[in-house]
Amino acid sequence: MVEVETLKVEIRNTLGKRNNRRLRKDGKIPAVLYGHKQENVSLAVPADNLAAVIRHGNRFVQLGGALREKALIKECQWDTWGQNVLHLDLARVGEHEKIKVHVALELRGDAPGVKEGGVVKHHIHSVEMECEAASVPEKIEVNINHLELNHAIHINELEIPAGSTIFEEPAAVVVSCDPAVEISDEDLEAKADGEQPEVISRKKEEKSEE
At 142, the amino acid letter reads V
For residues 169 and 110, membership in a common domain is answered with: yes
Predicted confidence at residue 4, as pLDDT, reads 81
Predicted confidence at residue 7, as pLDDT, reads 94
pLDDT along the chain (210 residues), means of 10: 80 89 93 93 95 88 93 91 92 90 95 96 96 90 97 97 94 96 66 55 45
3-class SS of residue 119? strand
* Domain interval for residue 38: 5-94
185 phi/psi in degrees, rounded to 5: -60, -40
Is residue 201 in some structural domain?
no
Is residue 143 in some structural domain?
yes
Is residue 190 in some structural domain?
no
Predicted confidence at residue 83, as pLDDT, reads 87
pLDDT, one tens digit per residue, over 137-170 is 889 999 999 999 999 999 999 999 999 999 999 9
Distances (CA, A) of 79 to 23, 52, 76, 83, 157: 15, 18, 10, 6, 35
For residues 26 and 49, membership in a common domain is answered with: yes
For residues 77 and 119, membership in a common domain is answered with: no
> What's the rounded Cα separation, in Å, for the pair 93 and 130?
13
> What's the rounded Cα separation, in Å, for the pair 22 and 20?
5
> What's the rounded Cα separation, in Å, for the pair 53 and 22?
23
DSSP-assigned beta bridge partners for residue 139: 104
Q: How many domains does one find in the chain?
A: 2
Domain boundary (94, 113, 137) is at 94
* CATH number, position 165: 2.170.120.20
Is residue 124 in some structural domain?
yes
For residues 79 and 113, membership in a common domain is answered with: no
Predicted confidence at residue 196, as pLDDT, reads 54
Helices (H) then strands (E): counts for the chain: 4, 13
